[in-house]
Amino acid sequence: MHHYVMEDSIDNVKNCLRDFPKEARELYLNETVPYLERPPSALQFYREWIGPNKPCIIRNAFDHWPALSKWNPTYLREAVGSKVISVAVTPNGYADAVLGDRFVMPEERQMTFSSLLDVIEGKVKSGGVFYVQKQCSNLTEELPELTEDIEPHIPWMSEALGKSPDAVNFWLGESRAVTSMHKDHYENLYCVVSGEKHFILLPPSDRPFIPYELYQPAVYSLKEDGSFEVVDEDNSEKVPWIPLDPLKPDLEKYPSYRLAKPLHCTVRAGEMLYLPSLWFHHVRQSHGCIAVNFWYDMEYDIKYNYFRLLESVAGAVGPL
C-alpha cells in the first residue's frame, strides 16, 4: 500500500512540473523573441524585460560605436595583430560540451590575433576549430586597445540594475564553433558587430524538460601528430551538464524534451540580444562573426530561489 502512495505522490509532482512551464507560457512568455526599434529607458527596460525575465532583440542600441564601421580584418591586424590572446581550439567545434561520458573543455591556445585571423580568413590551414570565447572580461583584459571603439558599459542597463558590468567579452570564431546548451547567472546584453549569431533559447521554466547528468571533466590536448586527445582532469569534481543537442535532440533517450518549447532567433550585425539570467541557450554563428557582450551579475533574489527549488524538484523526481 505504502509503495503505491509513494508512486502516486511522485506522479502528482511530475504532473505539477509538466503544468508549470505550460502556465508560464500562458501567463507571460512570448512565442517569439520581440524586437525593440530603439533602446528603452532604464525604468521601462527593468519593468518590461528584466523584472519579467523575458528576452528581446534591441535595434539601434549601439549605432554610435566606432567598432561597427572599423572592426574589419585589416583594422584588427593593425590595432591588435601582435597581441597574444587566448583561443579555444577543438577538433569538432564543440568546446565545453559533453562527449560520450566526459565533459570536455577546449585546448586554450595562446596565439597572436594575426595568426587567428590567418586561420579564420583561410590563409592558413589548421587542424581544429578556433573560437575566441574566453570570458572573464577578455576584451578589457586582453584587447584593451579595442575598448575605445565601444562603450565600457550600456548606460541604460547599468542604471536599470544599479551596477556596472562584471565582464565585457569579445567573441570571434569559425562557423563550425558551437556553444552547447547551458545557462548563466548573468543578465546578458549580446551585441553583434559583424555577421550574425543564431540562438536557441529556453526559459528557466522549461527546466523540468531539460536533462542534466554528471560528467568527468576533461580537456582536449593537441598531440605531436596534430590530432587531439581527451585528457581527464584528475581530482576534479564531476560537472553537471546538458547532454542534449537541441539541433538534433535524441527524443528516445530524452522524451521529456518533446514538451519544451525552444525559441529560435537570429541576431544580426548592429542588433543586441537581451538574454535574461538563467535562460538556457545554444549558440551558432556565421563564419568570422564578431560580437561583444556585457555580463551584469544577476540578483540572487526570490526568482533565483524559486528556480533553485524547481531545479531540485525536477532533479529529485527524474525524467517526466
Question: Does pLDDT of 241 surpass 80?
Answer: yes
**pLDDT tens per residue across span 15-35:** 999 999 999 999 999 999 999
Distance, CA of 131 to CA of 178 (rounded, Å) = 9
Question: What pLDDT does 239 receive?
Answer: 95
Asked if 264 and 161 count as a contact pair (C-beta separation under 8 A), the reply is: no
- Domain at 112, CATH number: 2.60.120.10
Report the amino acid identity of residue 90: T
pLDDT in tens, 63-99: 999 999 999 999 999 999 999 999 999 999 999 999 9
Question: Per-residue pLDDT tens for 137-169?
Answer: 899 999 999 999 999 999 999 999 999 999 999
pLDDT of residue 6: 67
Distance CA 24, CA 269 (A): 31
Domain that holds residue 207: 1-317
pLDDT of residue 185: 97
Q: At 78, phi and psi to the nearest 5?
A: -70, -45
Tell me: pLDDT of 7 over 90: no
CA-CA distance, 182 to 134, in Å (whole number)? 15
Give the pTM. 0.95
DSSP code at position 269: T
pLDDT at 5: 56
pLDDT, the chain, mean: 95
**Residue in the structure block whose three cell numbers are 508512486:** 7
Residues contacting 195, CB < 8 A, separation 6+ = 269, 285, 286, 287, 288, 289, 290
* DSSP 8-state class, residue 86: E
Distances (CA, A) of 114 to 111, 250, 308: 8, 40, 44
Please report the pLDDT score of residue 20 as a whole number.
95
The pLDDT of residue 8 is 80
CB atoms within 10 A of CB 285: 26
Number of domains in the chain: 1
Q: Which three cell numbers stand for residue 276?
A: 535574461
Mapping DSSP onto H, E and C, the string for 189-221 reads EEEEEECEEEEEEECHHHHHHCCCEEEEEEEEE
